[in-house]
Structure 1
Amino acid sequence: MKKNWLSSYPVGVPENISTLRHNSLGELIAEACRAFSEHTAFVQEANTLSYAQLDALSERLAAFFAVDLSLAVGERVALMMPNILAYPLAVSGVLRAGCVVVNVNPMYTPRELKHQLRDSGARAIIVAEPFVATVNEVLAETSVDTVIVVPMAGMPQSGSATYDHSGATVLNTALSTNSVMSARELRHSDTALLQYTGGTTGPSKGAELTHGNMLSNIEQFGTWLGDTLKPGREVIITALPIYHIFALMVNTLSFLRLGGKNVLITNPRDMPGLVATMKLEGCTAITGVNTFFNGLLNTPGFDALNFSTLHLSMGGGSAVQPAVARRWAEVTGKKLVEGYGLSETSPVLTVNRTDIPEFRAGIGLPLPSTEISIRDDDGKEVKQGEAGELCARGPQVMRGYWNKPEENAKAFTEDGFFRTGDMAMQDEDGYFHIVDRKKDMVLVSGFNVYPNEIEAVCAEHPGVLESACIGVPDEKTGEAVKVFVVKRDGALTEQVLIDHCRKNLTAYKVPRQIQFLTELPKSPVGKILRRELRG
């Protein structure tokens, strides 16, 4: 396989990353805390946590796990919180104890939570107070024997949440332990995270990510950005939930390594509140999904912020639409940079260049030490410019799905590439582009229609705020294109939008049906859920 993307690499970025300096994530965290001890590590509303405090408290929490609870290296600890100060503290404590972080979406139903706790075999859970009732409902059917409750500042207390489990304790009690943990030697091959996938094709699966996987991706990402980021001087806005792998690796761990100040947004749906926080705290970097950036652009007061210090705006999780990128550049004077990855790849595989001034559509170039191969259904590489399944190999790719040997046999090729399930192509300059998820393709009279393209065209119309495209049964063509639309302009009609699409799309791609909605279903990180529209 030719690495023909290397000719488009930025000057100074090597083909491969250097040898990793740390043996574990806990080691990286401890080193950063001591190097930047006087700096602020995390901010949540009026509350702050310095690097010195993070160091001392996470060390105590690690001792609580290792000594008081007798959790061995590799035991699983679930974390069920929104973005509050206790989250990065908990992540740091679990990792420094040599235990495995199991991130849990706090909005999970009892059924979803029970599956994840049972599948992971978690022995303990740290849960924010409003979600204790969900934990209590399933506890008896899991292996969890310790519940640590985190009171939440700035959120209403839940009347139904009672600490009636015999193993329940409050986080502050755990942090007041006098125990001292003996040093635990960890290796790159030790498991650091079980990162559960969305479960769109059945029960969610735990991607087993090692310390080596995560450290490699932190190093790859840092190497790619070069001197874009300055140690001890960054302020990053973290509106993506930390339980999402992108926010955990990029926002939390990568910026922690640099001694950055991380501004945690507990409720990203409160866009006016978010804008007020950005005005108060400042911002040098921000990450999000396309709908998040679009939402900010449509929030009063955002365009009046001072963007002079902003030098990294990174989109991931779903395609950044050119229309949104253009508006972002017009309002902020800065470009959006799109990247791509998955839970199974720690997560970042590809990123666009940050050293060129213009937005470039697509997912960019593979990070150092990363190989990308575009393959057909028979596993053969397709020609450059043709679409196929994106397959990836590199040090950031997971060990496999937790206790799922049959799934792992399907997930990897014989030569060790991970099958992402995403359809992609490589252009003449070596850059990669996602055309869509294989399962989201619409087949019209034998022609493949990719929803991302239809949605991007709809986004170009000034009357459209958001859209989502699916396929619906059609007697003549097998399937036809249907688009759900949220209006920006109340005067927008179905015919006006269809005419707009006819000007920009070949006939079989033009929507046959358009349905207007007041809002589109979204995941907790803001990705539009087409599967719910297919319903």
Structure 2
Amino acid sequence: MITLIERANSFTDRIAIKSDSQNYTYNQLLEQSTSVAAHLLQDQKDLNQARIAFLVPASFSYAAVQWGVWKAGGIAVPLCEKHPLPSIQYVLEDTKATTVIYTEAFEELLSPLFNNTTIQFLNYADIAPKKSELPKISLDRSALILYTSGTTGLPKGVVTTHANIEAQITALTTSWEWNKDDHVLNVLPLHHVHGIINMLSCALWSGACCQFLPKFNPKAIFDIFLKDEVNVFMAVPTIYFKLITYYNELPPSEKTAISQHLSRFRLMVSGSAALPVSVLEEWKEISGHILLERYGMTEMGMAISNPYNGIRRPGHIGQPLHGVSIRLADENDQAVNEGEPGEIQIKGPNVFKEYWEKPDATAESFTKDGWFKSGDIAIYDQDSYQILGRNSVDIIKSGGYKISALEIEEVLRTHPQIKDCGVVGIPDLEWGEIIGASIILKHGELSTDELTKWIQEKLPAYKTPRTYIFQEDLPRNVMGKVTKNEIKKMFTS
């Protein structure tokens, strides 16, 4: 049985979710998710791991759909609200999704697909109360497919089982001491583990409350904090940077009030990208909290964390979470000596099952003895891991997203005036990195405004280059390979 859902029966009258200015109990979540499952099953006894995609805003409806898919025996495929249609279509085609559940806000975006595909499109508003006999779901079944960019360019579907998800949840609820009186504000998109697992699922596992603010707004966030309901907050460094900027513009009396309320929080976490020490220190001045930094990936949930109780060192990610094994290894997958840099490799029940229908990519991501290769380089220093960087220059970490430079390059090369290009991450205090593109034109001129408008129709906004340089040719080594570090220097010099 799916333990996460079963546990909700112990909290039926408690508030599970606050969204759209309404409170929803665990009992309402159980009932609505059963209605979703019944509509998906129709006359079937079990969806048997059919892929059910959904484009639903961060809300009670999202949780009900996700649980409904699982209750019916399907694999949940959450779609990104900010993706353009080609990106959504790619996920639907790659997963061979049988059904898409959507809300009215996304009807216009999805409408071109309604009559051009065999996929069934189901408007969430049409799901009326309904009951059905539900299948028994074993924990070894696949539960979730989330898409992550990799060095192959195109996003890969990361498949996790119900057992993987349970291990990811319990690693955090144990290590971070979640309890039923917690109340977390979730301002992150729900197509990443940060929002889905770290906040929504950990809260629901614990009988706690998850409150949604679908659109980021610093004033709205501080207004919620001033009500003294929220006691847990998690965000990416970019969000903390924006909150600090807003806070610094407030009059002294408002600053004092906010700081007093923040000091009462139980836990504040930063993740998905490296936290600049300056941001950590300024937030500490504002809130009295040293942000808890942790480390994870779509493929494993969270794996390493600074202690809930104990010393948190700036620039460090801490120790392995409950139930997770970590080692640092060299390029031959041999463990390095303490104090030497190596690739973070992970073992544990939290590690994903496979990349969807990509057996070669799955095999390549594991060592012969079963360790998952993260691609991140770290050093073990004074009883704590410290990230040194990525062993691939083709992954850009910006605003909590991991973005494939190769994917952006492939799109740019389809422009009729572009001969070649090189995309890199440029260090940035607010975003961690911003995307820069070096462009080689075939002929004539091309304005950055024209190029930006063109690419925004092809890719999500967070994958759009923020700055460009135009060159005669790309820097290359003697083997003819583009030297990305040389491109980076051109942007930063």
Shorter chain as denominator, the TM-score bin is 0.7 to 0.9
Which position in structure 1 is the counterpart of 2:286? 331
Measured after TM superposition, the shift of residue 274 of structure 1 is 2.2
Q: CA deviation at 1:225?
A: 2.0
Does 1:285 find its partner at 2:232? yes
Q: Output aligned runs, 1:276-425, within 5 Å.
A: 276-280=223-227, 282-300=229-247, 303=255, 304-305=257-258, 306-345=261-300, 347-356=301-310, 358-425=312-379
> In 1, are the aligned partners of 2:56 and 2:103 still within 8 Å (CA)?
yes
Q: 1:530/1:325 Cα in 2 relative to 1: closer, same or farther (>3 Å)?
A: farther
The Cα shift of 1:174 comes to 1.6
Please report the TM-score for the alignment, with normalisation by the length of structure 1.
Answer: 0.71
**Which amino acid in the other structure matches residue 105 of structure 1?**
C
> Residue 88 in 1 paired to residue 52 in 2?
no
Whether contact under 8 Å (1:311, 1:334) holds in the other structure is no
Which of 167, 172, 176 aligns to 1:216? It is 167
Aligned equivalent of 1:271: 218
Give runs of aligned pairs for residues 394-473 of structure 1, distance below 5 A. 394-429=348-383, 431-440=384-393, 468=433
How far apart, in 1, do the equivalents of 2:7 and 2:434 lie?
A: 47
Cα deviation for residue 533 of structure 1 reads: 4.9
Amino acid at match of 2:190: I
Match for residue 73 of structure 1 among 20, 33, 48: 48
The residue type equivalent to 2:186 in the other structure is: T
- 254-263 vs 304-313, which moves further: 304-313
Describe the shift of the 1:388–1:342 C-alpha distance in structure 2 as closer, same or farther (beyond 3 A). same
Amino acid at match of 1:173: D
Give runs of aligned pairs for residues 207-246 of structure 1, distance below 5 A: 207-226=158-177, 229-231=178-180, 233-246=181-194
Q: Secondary structure of the equivalent of 1:368?
A: coil
- Pair 1:36–1:64, CA change in 2 (3 A): same
Match of 1:180, as an amino acid?
Answer: S
- Output the CA distance in 2 between the equivalents of 1:141 and 1:340: 41
Q: Tell me which of 202, 216, 241 is aligned to 2:153.
A: 202
Could you list the per-position Cα deviations for residues 289-308 of structure 1 after superposition, in whole angstroms to 9, with x for gaps in the alignment? 11111111222457432124
The letter for the 1-side match of 2:210 is N
Counterpart in 2 of 1:262? Answer: 210
1:29 has 2:8 as partner: no
SS of residue in 1 equivalent to 2:345: strand
Cα distance in 1, alignment partners of residues 349 and 368 from structure 2: 17
Q: Distance in 2 between matches of 1:408 and 1:378?
A: 18
Closer, same or farther in 2 for the Cα pair 1:534/1:354, shift >3 Å? farther
1:5-84 → structure 2 map (5 Å cutoff): 23-24=1-2, 27-32=3-8, 34-67=9-42, 72-84=47-59
Distance 2:139 2:468 in 1: 42
* Counterpart contact for 2:328–2:344, Cα < 8 Å: yes
Partner Cα separation in structure 1 for residue 433 and residue 95 of structure 2 = 34
Q: Secondary structure at the match of 2:105?
A: helix
> Percent of aligned pairs with the same residue?
24
SS at structure 2 position matched to 1:439: coil
TM-score for both structures, normalised by structure 2: 0.77
Please give the alpha-carbon distance, in whole angstroms, between the structure 1 residues aligned to 2:61 and 2:139: 26
Counterparts of 2:436 and 2:146, CA distance in 1: 30
Q: 1:117 to 1:313 in 2, by over 3 A?
A: same
Residues 206 and 80 (structure 1), Cα distance of their counterparts in 2 relative to 1, 3 Å cut: same
Aligned equivalent of 1:181? 133
1:280 Cα deviation after fit: 3.6
User: Can you give the 5+ residue segments of structure 1 that lack an aligned partner in the other structure?
Assistant: 1-22, 150-170, 443-450, 460-464, 474-520
- The aligned counterpart of 2:400 is none
Q: Label 1:281 to 1:48 Cα distance change in 2 as closer, same or farther (>3 A).
A: farther
Q: In structure 2, list runs of 5 or more residues that go unmatched.
A: 396-423, 439-455, 470-493
Taking structure 1 as reference, are residues 201 and 272 closer, same or farther at Cα in structure 2, changes over 3 Å only?
Answer: farther
Partner of 2:413: none
Superposition CA RMSD, Å: 2.9
What corresponds to 1:250 in structure 2?
198
CA shift, 1:529, in A, is 6.4
Cα 1:31–1:340 shift into 2, 3 Å: same
CA-CA distance at 1:210 after TM superposition: 0.3
SS of the aligned residue for 2:57 comes to coil
Query: Which deviates the most, 272-281 or 433-442?
Result: 433-442
Moved more, 39-48 or 60-69: 60-69
Distance 2:222 2:270 in 1: 18
State the SS of the aligned residue for 2:197: helix
Q: How far off is 1:379 after superposition?
A: 2.1
Change (3 A) 1:405 1:278: same
Contact 1:352-1:360 within 8 A present in 2 as well: no
Shift in CA distance, 180/401, structure 1 to aligned 2, threshold 3 Å = same
Task: Measure the CA separation in 1 of the matches of 2:187 and 2:281.
Answer: 21
Given the superposition, is the C-alpha separation of residues 353 and 360 from structure 1 closer, same or farther in structure 2, using an over 3 Å criterion? farther
Given the superposition, is the C-alpha separation of residues 66 and 313 from structure 1 closer, same or farther in structure 2, using an over 3 Å criterion? same
CA contact (8 A) 1:30 1:55 kept: no
Query: Does the 8 A contact of 1:393 with 1:418 survive in 2?
Result: yes
SS at match of 2:6: helix
2:490 — aligned with what?
Answer: none
Cα distance in structure 1, aligned partners of 2:46 and 2:111: 22
Distance in 1 between residues matched to 2:276 and 2:240, nearest whole Å: 10
Structure 2: distance between partners of 1:42 and 1:333: 27
Matching residue of 1:6: none
Distance between the aligned counterparts of 1:255 and 1:413, measured in 2?
A: 34
Letter of the 2:184 counterpart = I
| Matched residue type, 1:28 | L
Deviation at 1:357, TM superposition (A): 5.6
Q: Tell me by how many angstroms 1:472 deviates.
A: 9.9
Is contact 2:326–2:347 with CA below 8 Å preserved after alignment? yes
Partners of 1:61 and 1:102 in 2: how far apart? 15
- Alignment partner of 2:127: what SS? helix
Distance 1:122 1:321, change over 3 A: same
* CA–CA distance in structure 2, aligned partners of residues 330 and 386 of structure 1: 34
